[in-house]
Amino acid sequence: MSLRLPPAARRLVTVAGAAALVTGLGVVAATQASAAAGCRVSYSANSWSTGFTGNVSVTNLGDPITGGWRLEWDFAGNQRVTQGWSATVTQSGTHVTATGPSWASSLATGASATFGFNADYSGTNTAPASFSLNGTVCTGSAGPGTPSPSNPTPSNPGPSNPTTPPPAGSKVDNPYAGVQGYRNPEWQAKANAEPGGSRVSNNPTAVWLDRIAAIEGTEDSSSNGSMGVRDHLDRALTQGAGYIQFVIYNLPGRDCAALASNGELGPNDLPRYKSEYIDPIAAIQADPKYASLRIINIIEIDSLPNLVTNTSGQAGGTAMCDTMKANGGYVQGVGYALNKLGALGNTYNYVDAAHHGWIGWDSNFLPTANILLQAAQASGSVNNVHGFIVNTANYSALREPYVQPTTTVNGVSVRQSKWVDWNQYTDELTFAQAFRNQLVSVGFNSGIGMLIDTSRNGWGGSARPTGPSTATDVDTFVNQSRIDRRIHAGNWCNQSGAGLGERPQANPASGIDAYVWVKPPGESDGSSTLIPNDEGKGFDRMCDPTYTGNARNGNNPSGALPNAPISGAWFSAQFQQLMANAYPPLS
């Protein structure tokens, strides 16, 4: 990992915006002058007082476009584009041109291209009256010899050609509510083998699918083998579980800002990600045998926020993050996963949204929401996203009762302390609730719910403060008062002093679908030293207890436990520490 409402109440949040459907956009391939034309465009604007986010999707109803696509329109007012994504968006006067990115420059028959932009305006934000694609104005129908708009023949089903969504009302508002979660027997066995482990082993935890081999598993479930996706689903049926959680975690160029959790796929392996990883998972989850289960997919930990905070120009930015931003692998990969998995009637996609110690600053908050929206739009519809998860596999405290951004010490805001460092948030609950509102404001459905991973953020034990400090120096006050006992909020690997947090539960707070244990307690974040392996797991110095840090953690010690195995392997010393420091305490 890198530095990184009860249901009725959720629906009270609304988003301002206008939507328009423009049909019959003419299509001509730049390299095919006689190609038959036809397409449709959907355009929506989520507006606020001085700006808006525009969302555009164009579907090709004519012959395939292979020479690059170019969508153009004119604004009726003083709208001015300031930023675009999934297309190059430029403006001259009132005229706007959007051209396809290099990784998605073609449009097959029946395929769609989705992109977005931010813009400023004043007065009335009127939708464009018409669009043109590759120089041809909207006609409203497909040309001679092309498939009927109601029956296209796409050549590449996927995010740009989404599967028909399930019937309305077939999914519940909160998949965690009113049912028991799946207890992974492999994790249970390891927990029960630890002294005192039976106190926590009945809690539901997620199953991590962190490489292609994890889909099938091995033929046995011995200590040297592993269960596959079908094995877990079958066992969930046997248990009578109502929901089961899978972590979808194998993007090309995975976790571009860290080494401990790098994956098996290279930066250009998006086709393999789709065909060898996502497609088989979706096929298994689609089996009618599992229709009674609520299958919850946690989508790609740490991926999209890296494109905001860990690219060139950011402290500690990496070349790999630059590559994944430029080639669209993360956005298109997440979009594909959302499309394929979201199309099933009993699946629920929750996209990873980092944590407050990563994107809680104003400079990261809205841009992260926008790139999450970009990936959702790449899936064909924001409806493929049921919600978001924060603090996955991390340690940020659920609540900081004595250190809030509004707290002052001798007239000095705690935001000026070295620990808070001008962040707008100090804990995960307030961050998750605020970020949910931001996500809705940029275009996500008002019914989305948030998850918070509380598997390792309890910070109990003797070091836990029982009240605010009496110190008059702001840094001293914060360090003596904060629940989170890490050396720096950017430290993420096998943290010393951590404890189990709140047990998994549904509807614990406004806007929160559930507290969950997505990172199974006792599974390592990464090895303390280099350990050769065949799982694609690298060595990251942030897992080395002797490491003195880097720009992303303010050049502070890593705070990692010693003698840790590779990420995902069982780490007995960590599990014992988590139980000892649990908050609420274990009985």
Give 79-95 pLDDT, tens digit per residue: 999 887 778 899 999 99
What span, in angstroms and rounded, lies between the C-alpha atoms of 488 and 552?
10
Q: Using an 8 Å Cβ cutoff, are 521 and 200 in contact?
A: yes
Q: Is the confidence at residue 40, as pLDDT, over 90?
A: no
Q: What percent of the chain has pLDDT over 70?
A: 85
H/E stretch holding 332: helix 329-342
User: Span 309-313, mean pLDDT?
Assistant: 84
The pLDDT, as a whole number, for residue 67 is: 81
Q: Is the confidence at residue 297, as pLDDT, over 80?
A: yes
Output the CA angle 255-452-313, nearest 5 degrees: 35
Q: Token digits for 52?
A: 């808006």
* Residues of the chain by 3-state class (helix, strand, coil), percent to 5: 25, 20, 55
Q: What is the DSSP string of 211-258?
A: STHHHH--SS-STT----HHHHHHHHHHHT-SEEEEEE---TT-STT-
The pLDDT, as a whole number, for residue 117 is: 84
The pLDDT, as a whole number, for residue 33 is: 33
Contacts of residue 148, defined as CB under 8 A and 6 or more positions apart, other chains included, come to: 142
Question: Could you tell me how many residues make up the chain?
Answer: 587
Q: Is the confidence at residue 175, as pLDDT, over 90?
A: yes
| Collapsed DSSP state (helix, strand, coil) of residue 84 | strand
Output the CA angle 256-335-363, nearest 5 degrees: 55
pLDDT per residue over 359-368, tens digit each?
999 999 999 9
Q: 45-54, 496-505, 533-542: which range is least confident on average?
A: 45-54
Q: 5-14, 426-435, 456-465: which range is least confident on average?
A: 5-14
How remote is the C-alpha of 339 from its chain's centroid? Answer: 14
H/E stretch holding 7: helix 7-10
Q: Is the confidence at residue 502, as pLDDT, over 60?
A: yes
Q: Exposed/middle/buried for 49, CB within 10 Å: 0-12, 13-18, 19+?
A: exposed
231 is catalytic: no
Which of 255, 269, 525, 540 is labelled catalytic? 525
The pLDDT, as a whole number, for residue 116 is: 78
Q: Which CATH superfamily is domain 185-580 in?
A: 1, 4-beta cellobiohydrolase (3.20.20.40)
User: Span 262-291, mean pLDDT?
Assistant: 94
Contacts of residue 541, defined as CB under 8 A and 6 or more positions apart, other chains included, come to: 547, 550, 558
H/E stretch holding 305: helix 303-309
The pLDDT, as a whole number, for residue 311 is: 87
| In the chain, where the domains are located | 7-137, 185-580
Q: At what angle do helices 329-342 and 319-327 cross, to 10 degrees?
A: 60
What span, in angstroms and rounded, lies between the C-alpha atoms of 116 and 129?
18
513 is catalytic: no
What span, in angstroms and rounded, lies between the C-alpha atoms of 108 and 25?
15
pLDDT per residue over 225-246, tens digit each?
689 999 999 999 999 999 999 9
The pLDDT, as a whole number, for residue 170 is: 65
The pLDDT, as a whole number, for residue 61 is: 80
Residue type, 14: T
Residue 533: how many other CB atoms lie within 10 Å: 14
The pLDDT, as a whole number, for residue 425 is: 97
How remote is the C-alpha of 177 from its chain's centroid? Answer: 22
Q: Indicate the pLDDT class of residue 221, thresholds 50, 70 and 90.
A: very low
User: Span 17-34, mean pLDDT?
Assistant: 35
Q: Indicate the pLDDT class of residue 260, thresholds 50, 70 and 90.
A: low
Q: What is the DSSP string of 154-167?
A: -SS-BTTBPPPPPP
Q: Indicate the pLDDT class of residue 150, thresholds 50, 70 and 90.
A: very low
Q: Is the confidence at residue 503, as pLDDT, over 90?
A: yes
The pLDDT, as a whole number, for residue 54 is: 81
Highest mean pLDDT among 133-147, 157-171, 258-272: 258-272
Q: Is the confidence at residue 261, as pLDDT, over 90?
A: no
What span, in angstroms and rounded, lies between the C-alpha atoms of 538 and 533?
8
Q: Is the confidence at residue 450, as pLDDT, over 70?
A: yes
The pLDDT, as a whole number, for residue 313 is: 75
Contacts of residue 147, defined as CB under 8 A and 6 or more positions apart, other chains included, come to: 61, 109, 110, 153
Q: Indicate the pLDDT class of residue 353, thresholds 50, 70 and 90.
A: very high
The pLDDT, as a whole number, for residue 13 is: 30
H/E stretch holding 374: helix 362-378
Average pLDDT, the chain: 85
Q: What percent of the chain has pLDDT over 90?
A: 65
Q: Is the confidence at residue 469, as pLDDT, over 70?
A: yes
At the second CATH level, the architecture of 7-137 is Sandwich (2.60)
The pLDDT, as a whole number, for residue 147 is: 33
What span, in angstroms and rounded, lies between the C-alpha atoms of 69 and 37?
13
Q: Indicate the pLDDT class of residue 103, thresholds 50, 70 and 90.
A: low
The pLDDT, as a whole number, for residue 225 is: 63
Q: Token digits for 285?
A: 């989850």
Q: Indicate the pLDDT class of residue 176, thresholds 50, 70 and 90.
A: very high
The pLDDT, as a whole number, for residue 581 is: 98
Which of 302, 453, 484, 513 is labelled catalytic? 302
Q: 168-182, 209-223, 278-292: which range is least confident on average?
A: 209-223
Q: Is the confidence at residue 268, as pLDDT, over 90?
A: yes
Q: Using an 8 Å Cβ cutoff, are 56 and 127 in contact?
A: no
Selected residue with higher pLDDT from 479 and 154: 479
Nearest CA among 428, 586, 391 for reference residue 503: 586
Residue 586: how many other CB atoms lie within 10 Å: 17
Q: How many CA within 13 A on the CB side of residue 287?
A: 11
